[in-house]
Amino acid sequence: MYRKLLVITAAILTSSLFTKIVAQQKSLQKWTADNGNGTYKNPILWGDWPDPDIIRVDDDFYFISTSMHYVPGCPILHSKDLVNWEMAGYAVDHYTEDERYNMKGGNMYLRGSWAATIRHHNGLFYVGFCTPSWDKEKGNFSICTAKNIKGPWTRTIFPEYLYDPGLLFDDDGKVYVVHGQGKLYVTELAANALSTVGGPKQIWSNPIEKPQGSTAPYDRYGMEGSHVYKINGYYYITCPAGGTEGWQVCLRSKNIYGPYEQKIIVQDETSYPGNGLHQGGMVQLKDSTWWFVIMQDRGAIGRVPHLEPVAWKDGWPMIGENGNGKGVATHKKPIQGNKNKIVPATTDEFTKTQLGLQWQWNHNPDNASWSLTERKGHMRLHASLATDLTTARNTLTQRVQGPYSEATVELDVTGLKDGDIAGFGIFQSPYAYIAVRKKGAENNLIMVNNGTVIDSITHFSPKKIWLKATATDKGFEGNFFYSTDGKNFKQFGNVLKMALGYDWTANRFALLHFSMTQNGVGGYADFNWFRFQGINE
């Protein structure tokens, strides 16, 4: 009996599940801001988490970010110490207001959630965001509410368009949104924050002069990305100015409608020369200290958040060590005691029946055409008709990360039909990928760079293939590799020069499957796992 138990145990240890667990443990290395000695380093997340806003609810911190056309939208992170973060959920599960979110009659690239604001009031979480239309002069504004940060969320779409909103629940029971680009406005909301009371009132129109030492190309700027606070009788509005090279401005007044005075509270490009710290939100801790989460553009990798201390000087929240207006590279953690390093999930073995929170679809998914249960332990993507990758539904994505990241997938192409293209790559504009393309009864291996087939192998017989993509912030290059045994990889095709053709939306790793002929619709591709590697320097 003992020998039989040993045999059974050995069988379990050599099972595919055990192999997955071991592989997953080996692939967890990635950027972490926690230095493990009571200090942290910036950025706190080396990936695309743009336009941050932040709140504290008792001992918990919540951070919300822009997600553009990716679904679900309005990603929300959770932390206990402002340094270690994990995904909590999303405020928007899909977009209902336009069929182009379903890739019908066009697309909605760059349209979705912009510059979200998050607040907690009387037991409810509130998330507000704007959705610009194609001409950027129109769009809509939404408020989402939930009792639990994980949802379910209820979305209310307003007829008004409130650009880059900042939500405030005042201490007298009134509710306001500060919004606008260049010119700033205040719009009062009803007590439940689900409708407006009256129209917008302009509170600011003066351009901001470029601070000394800035590399920004123009001398004067308007503001956007407002967040608003009521502190010691003053209304404070924090706004970025200067764009990618920019800085952070603070306005203050005793009256929500002004007049406002102004001050630049941080102007620093040293951590990524040429790109300034700008746009974000601040939060007060239980010990009464204040901290600011603020983003910095880092090209095709994305807009990354920094955690900065705040020192109050003459009634102004000045960012940096002792309020010197400069960002910190390393600093003592705001809250000590947590020894567990936590980062948002990346690697996925597809062993669960629910999609991991690290994933977002390119536009609304067709939920009838993907499954985590049809083949246990796999993400199955069924093909839909598309002209190329940019018009394909059910492209599954997650962030590339800096300063270097690589991801590998195992793909079974047994279920492909004539016209199917299934593979893995990096998505933006431009994009690139390696895929198996089925033509008649034959499979070909192709490398595509922005719609052009760069390299191919005909009569490609393996039914299982391993594909790898890498990304770096040094030159913003993506490289692509394939393997037929999962061990020995060959570089294939050419280098993707990662860029931001879809403005302000970072590059992403992408699992893809679509068909360029009606014959392929209904074919399927099985992804056994996605494994992520990064560096922490």
Q: What angle do CA 227, 208, 137 make, to 5 degrees?
A: 65
Is position 195 within any domain? Answer: yes
414 in the same domain as 318:
no
pLDDT at residue 19, as a whole number: 42
Is position 349 within any domain? Answer: no
Residue 243: φ, ψ to 5°: 65, -145
pLDDT at residue 1, as a whole number: 39
Is position 145 within any domain? Answer: yes
Is position 305 within any domain? Answer: yes
**Which one of 332, 352, 386 terminates a domain?**
332
- 51 as an active site residue: the answer is yes
pLDDT at residue 135, as a whole number: 63
402 in the same domain as 320:
no
**Which one of 286, 313, 332 terminates a domain?**
332
Give the strand pairing for 379-382 and 303-313.
unpaired
The three-state DSSP-derived secondary structure of 481-532 is EEECCCCCCEECCCCEECCCCCCCCCCEEEEEEEECCHHHCCCEEEEEEEEE
Residue-number span of the structural domain to which 81 is assigned: 31-332
The three-state DSSP-derived secondary structure of 398-446 is EECCCCEEEEEEEEECCCCCCCEEEEEEEECCCCEEEEEEEECCEEEEE
**Which one of 332, 352, 383 terminates a domain?**
332
Is position 325 within any domain? Answer: yes
376 in the same domain as 516:
yes
Is position 23 within any domain? Answer: no
223 in the same domain as 364:
no
pLDDT at residue 30, as a whole number: 79
- Residue 431: give its domain's CATH number: 2.60.120.200
Residue 69: φ, ψ to 5°: -85, 0
136 in the same domain as 57:
yes
447 in the same domain as 319:
no
Q: What is the CA radius of gyration of the chain?
A: 24
pLDDT at residue 430, as a whole number: 98
Residue 304: φ, ψ to 5°: -105, 145
DSSP 324: -
- Residue 117: give its domain's CATH number: 2.115.10.20
Which pLDDT tens digits describe the chain residue by residue (537 residues)?
333 333 333 333 334 443 443 344 444 467 999 999 999 999 999 999 999 999 999 999 999 999 999 999 999 999 999 999 999 999 999 999 999 999 999 999 999 999 999 999 999 999 999 998 866 568 999 999 999 999 999 999 999 999 999 999 999 999 999 999 999 999 999 999 999 999 999 999 989 999 988 888 888 899 999 999 999 999 999 999 999 999 999 999 999 999 999 999 999 999 999 999 999 999 999 999 999 999 999 999 999 999 999 999 999 999 999 999 999 999 999 999 888 899 999 999 999 999 999 999 999 999 999 999 999 999 999 999 999 999 999 999 999 999 999 999 999 999 999 999 999 999 999 999 999 999 999 999 999 999 999 999 999 999 999 999 999 999 999 999 999 999 999 999 999 999 999 998 999 999 999 999 988 788 999 999 999 999 876
Is position 326 within any domain? Answer: yes
424 in the same domain as 281:
no
pLDDT at residue 137, as a whole number: 65
- 224 as an active site residue: the answer is yes
Given 224, 245, 297, 349, the catalytic residue: 224
pLDDT at residue 47, as a whole number: 96
Provide the residue count of the chain. Answer: 537
DSSP 99: G
484 in the same domain as 437:
yes
- Report the C-alpha gap between 380 and 513 in whole angstroms: 10
391 in the same domain as 464:
yes
- Whether 265 contacts 10, CB under 8 Å: no
pLDDT at residue 166, as a whole number: 98
- In the structure, how many helices (H) and strands (E) does the chain have? 2, 40
Place of tokens 């706190």: 44
- In the chain, the number of structural domains is 2
287 in the same domain as 178:
yes
DSSP 6: H
441 in the same domain as 374:
yes
509 in the same domain as 430:
yes
Is position 110 within any domain? Answer: yes
Q: Which of 140, 57, 73, 138 is nearest to 505 (CA)?
A: 73
CA 185 from chain centre, in angstroms, equals: 27
pLDDT at residue 20, as a whole number: 45
Given 51, 245, 268, 420, the catalytic residue: 51
- Report the C-alpha gap between 440 and 475 in whole angstroms: 39
